[in-house]
Amino acid sequence: MDFRKQGAEARLYVTSFLGRRCLVKERFKKLYRHADLERSLTSQRMKSEIQALVKCRQCGIATPALYYVDKKANAIYMEYLDDCITLKDHVNKLLLDDCAEPIVKIANQIGSIVAKLHDNGIIHGDLTTSNLLVRNAGSPNQELVLIDFGLTSLNSSNYAEDKGVDLYVLERAFLSTHPKTEELFASILKSYEQSCRKGSCEAIAKLEEVRLRGRKRTMVG
């Protein structure tokens, strides 16, 4: 396997699976954790990640196809996406080229995909412009592909709060990566509210609460 990168929770490799190029996400052991706790956490997180991948595709959200799960190695084999660029790079290019119409289109797509996640009981947990990919960028059939479900939770008991936090993570990631794009993020929220089947008002209200808590922490710090 060809090693590509390591994150806080897993290593990524590229290999082949049944003749297809694929990405392998392998969760490594955290030696500072008690062995039983490590096994339990790894098992729970892998289960949530796999369920999220499957559920997203069932409800029409583009994600890498799941090929195989190696429970012994704590590894997930999935589709290797070689026809995509990160949303981060795509938005940067649109902003640099001052492309107003495509920027509105991508804002609408972002809001719509997050609404679909939340409508289907999925909290991503790490919504950033690096965890959204753009397939066929700039073409009529452009679509967003969501990746990295390592922090995902399903059917949360504190759902409105978790949706607000999900939106806040996206907002902080978006505005820190793409400064002076407050209006663009407002368009994302508008699309989110229009696309949600239920609960958008509660989620936006919780977003305001989380923003306030964030500002208070900044002031104290």
**126, 148, 162, 166: which is the annotated catalytic residue?**
126
Instruction: Report d(CA 196, CA 117) in Å as an integer.
Output: 9
Q: How far apart are CA 23 and CA 37, in angstroms?
A: 27
CA distance 132 to 198: 23
**Helical H segments across the chain, by residue range:** 35-58, 87-97, 100-119, 159-177, 182-195, 200-220
At 137 the three-state DSSP class reads coil
| d(C-alpha 214, C-alpha 192), whole Å | 22
Task: Compute φ and ψ for 85, nearest 5 degrees.
Answer: -125, 160
Q: Are 130 and 209 in contact (CB under 8 A)?
A: no
Catalytic residue list contains 126: yes
DSSP string of 103-132?
HHHHHHHHHHHHHHHHHTTEE-S---TTSE
Pair of tokens at residue 184? 């663009």
List, by residue number, the catalytic residues.
126
